[in-house]
Chain A
Amino acid sequence: MATTLGPTGFWILTALAGGRRHGYDILREVDAASSGRAAMKVTTLYAALERLERDGLIRADGEEVVGGRARRYFAIQDAGGAALEAEVAALEHQARVARERLRAAGRPAVQPGFGRTAIA
C-alpha cells in the first residue's frame, strides 16, 4: 500500500478538505496543520496547486480582489477527496505496521498526536 500524493499534495488536500480556501490561506493552513514541517514557498504552493488542478483533484472556485490583491479560491473535487482518503489509509497502514514492529522489538509504542514522531 503505497502513498502517492506526496507531502505537498497531501497537506494541500487536507487544507481544502474543510472547505474552499484562497491560495495564501492554504499556505497558512498547511503551515499550521503540519506544525511548520510542510511549510512551503509561494511558488512551490502554486506549482502544486496547478498540478492538483490538472490532475482533477481540486478546481479553481472563483476569484475576488481584497485590498487591491487578487485572490483565487480553490475547492477539493470528489476525486481529490477519494485520493486523500486513500492516502490516509496508506499512511495508517504504514503507521500500524511500524508500531507493531516497534512493539515486537520491545520499544515504547508511538502514540498518534505526540509531536514530530506522530506524523509518518
Chain B
Amino acid sequence: MSGLDDRPFRRLLAWYPRSWRRDHGDVLVAMMLDDAERTGRSGPSGAERRAAIIHGLGARLGATAAIIAASLAVLATAVGQVGLLFFTGGGPAIHEPVLFVMTGVAPALTGVALVALLRAVALLGDGAAVTATVCLAVAGVCSGFGGIAWSQGFDAADAGLPQTGLAAMTLPLAGAGVLLTMVAFALLVAPALRRAGLGPAARVLAIVVAIIAAPVTGALVFLSPGTTAVVAIVVLVVAALPRVRGVRRAAPAVGAPAPTPRAPRSSAGGAALSRALAGIALAGGAVGLAWAFAGADWSPTARGDDTVAMREGVVILAVSMIPALIALGVVLDRSRRRAGRDVWIPVAAAAAGFAATATDYLVSDGNGSLTIAWVGAAAAIGLALAWWVVVRMPLSTGHGSATGIRIGVGLGIMLAYTLVLGLTLTPMLAFAAPVLALVVLVLPWRRSARVPSALSQAA
C-alpha cells in the first residue's frame, strides 16, 4: 500500500447515492487509487471527475427516484387543482404560483420520473439520463414562467394594455421550454429506436419524433394539466413493479441474510374459493353491464330512462367488484409473495371504495353535488392504490428515513388520486368488474405452476 491520500478520490463519492456508496464506494476508490498509482497521479484526473459526476448522478436516477418524482408530480397537480378549485378569488398571489406548479413543476417532475424509469430499466445511459433531467428541469422553469406570462398577457390584453415585462416574454419562454423538451425527448427516444434495430436512422427518427412530440406535450400541459397526473401515475405504477425495481436494486450487503420467501399455499379450498367468488363477480358484472346499457327497457324503476338504468348498472357493477377483489386477494395471498396485510389492506380499502360507490349511486339523485360516499369512495381507492405502490417501493430498510418516505409518498398518492382523478374515475372503474373476475379465473393456475419453480431455483 502506498502513501497516496485517498481523500480527493473519496470526495467524488459524494455524487453517488448513499446506498451505492455503501455497496460500491470502497471498491471504486480502490480502483481509482490503483489507476492513479500506475499513472503517477496524486488525485483524480479531470476526465475521471467528469465521469464520476455523470455516473454518480445517473446512479441517483433509478426506480426509487422515479417513484418519488412521479409522486411529487401527482401531488403538485393535486395542489394546483385545489388552488384552482377553492381559491379562484385569490388573485395573482394564489393564481400565479398555482400556474407555475401546474404548468412547470408537475410536468418537469413527471419528465424526470420518466427519465429515471427508463434508466431503471436500462433503456437510457447515465449521460443521456442526466442531460435529459437537466433539460426537463430547465424546461419546467421556462414553462412555469411561460404560464404566468401568458396569464399576465391575457389580463393585459383584456384591459387593452400593451404586453410589457413578463407578459412580453410568453413566446420566448414557451419556445425555450419546447426546445429543451425536444432535446430531452430525442435523448429518451433514440436508445429505444436503436434497440429496435433502426441503426443510424434511429437518431434522425428520434429527432423527428421529438420535434412533433414536444410542442404537443407543451400544448397538453397548458390545456389539460390533469394529463400530467395520469402520466405520472402510470410511471409510478410501472416503477413500483418488482421487475423494474429488481433491475436497479442494489446487491445485498455481504453477509446479510437473504430474505426467506414464504412458501406458497397450495390449499384446494383457497383456489375453489377464489374461483367461486370470481364466478359470482363475473356473473354480476355481466348483469351490471347489460343493465347499464340496456336496462332502461326492462328495469321497473328506470322506466325507459337511460340515465337511471346506467346508475343502477353502476350499482350492480360496483357490488360485483367486491367479490372480484376478494378473489384477487385470495389468489395473491396464496402466492405469498407479500405479507398478508399488504394484500388485504388494499383489497379491503378498494372493496370499501366500491361499496361506497354503490351506496352513492343508490341513494343520491346524481345531480353532481359532492356527497360523503362519492368522496369516500375516491379516498378509499386512493388508499388502496397508495398502499399497493408504497409497500413495493424499493427503499432500503436499513435507514429510518424509508418509513417517512413511504408515508409521505403514500399520502401524496392518496390525496392526489382523491382530488385529481378519483371523483371521475372511481365509478368508471366499476365497469372493470367482469374483466378483473376473468383475470382472477385465469391467475391461480399460472401462480401455482410458477411459484414452486421459483423457490426451487432460489434453493
Distance in Å: Cβ of A63 to nearest Cβ of chain B? 7
Q: Is the CB of A51 within 8 A of B28?
A: no
Contact of B122 among A54, A69, A70, A72 (CB under 8 A): A54
CB proximity to B under 8 Å, residues A18-56: 23-24, 27-28, 41-47, 51, 54-55
Given contacts A42-B51, A46-B31, 10 further A-B pairs with CB under 8 A are A28-B38, A42-B35, A42-B48, A43-B48, A43-B51, A44-B55, A51-B122, A70-B29, A70-B30, A72-B27
CB of B254 within 8 A of chain A? yes
Task: Enumerate A70-92 residues with CB–CB distance to B below 8 Å.
Answer: 70-72
Q: Which residue of B lies closest to A59 (CB)?
A: B251
Partner of B31, one of A45, A63, A68: A45
CB neighbours of B24 from chain A (8 A): 46, 72
Contact: A71 with B27, CB < 8 Å? yes
Nearest-neighbour CB distance to chain B for A57, whole angstroms, equals: 12
Q: What 8 pairs between A and B have smallest CB-CB spacing?
A: A69-B30, A67-B1, A70-B26, A43-B51, A24-B34, A72-B27, A43-B55, A42-B31
Interchain CB contact under 8 A, B31 and A24:
yes
Q: Are A63 and B254 in contact (CB under 8 A)?
A: yes
Residues of chain A lying within 8 A (CB to CB) of residue B51: 41-44
Check if B32 is an interface residue, CB within 8 A of chain A.
Answer: yes
- Asked if A41 meets B47 with Cβ closer than 8 Å, knowing A54-B122, A60-B251, A63-B254, the reply is yes
Interchain CB contact (< 8 A) of B126 among A23, A47, A54, A63: A47
- B33: interface (CB < 8 Å): yes
Contact present for A43 and B28 (CB under 8 Å): yes
B interface residues (Cβ-Cβ under 8 A, vs A): 1, 24, 26-35, 38, 45, 47-48, 51-52, 54-55, 58, 122, 126, 197, 199, 247-248, 251, 254
The CB with the most chain B CB atoms within 10 A, among A63, A67, A71, A72, is that of A72
9 A–B contacts from the bound complex (CB under 8 Å)? A2-B197, A23-B27, A43-B28, A46-B24, A54-B247, A60-B251, A69-B26, A69-B34, A72-B27
Q: How far, in angstroms, from A85 to B1 measured CA to CA in the complex?
A: 38
Q: Majority SS of interface residues in chain B?
A: helix
Q: How far is the CB of B48 from chain A (nearest CB, A)?
A: 5
Q: How many residues of A contact B (CB 8 A)?
A: 23
A4 → chain B, closest Cβ, in Å? 10
> Which residues of B have CB within 8 Å of A69?
1, 26, 29-30, 33-34
Query: Which residues of chain A come closer than 8 Å to B199, judged between CB atoms?
Result: 2
**Does the CB pair A46–B28 fall under 8 Å?**
yes
Contacts of A44 in B (CB 8 A): 51, 55
- B35 and A24 form a contact (CB under 8 A): yes
**B28 and A24: CB pair below 8 A?**
no
Which residues on the A side are within 8 Å of B26 (C-beta)? 69-70
Contacts of B35 in A (CB 8 A): 24, 27, 42
Q: How far is the CB of B36 from chain A (nearest CB, A)?
A: 9
Rounded to whole angstroms, the CA-CA distance of A45 and B86 in the bound complex is 54
Q: Which residue of B lies closest to A43 (CB)?
A: B51
**Complex formed: what's the CA distance from A41 to B47 in Å?**
8
Asked whether, in the complex, the Cβ of A63 is within 8 Å of the Cβ of B27, the reply is yes
Closest residue on chain A to residue B125 by CB atoms: A47
Residues from chain B with Cβ under 8 Å of A70 in the complex: 26-27, 29-30
Contacting residues, chain B, for A2 (C-beta < 8 A): 197, 199
Which residues on B sit within 8 Å (CB–CB) of A41? 45, 47-48, 51
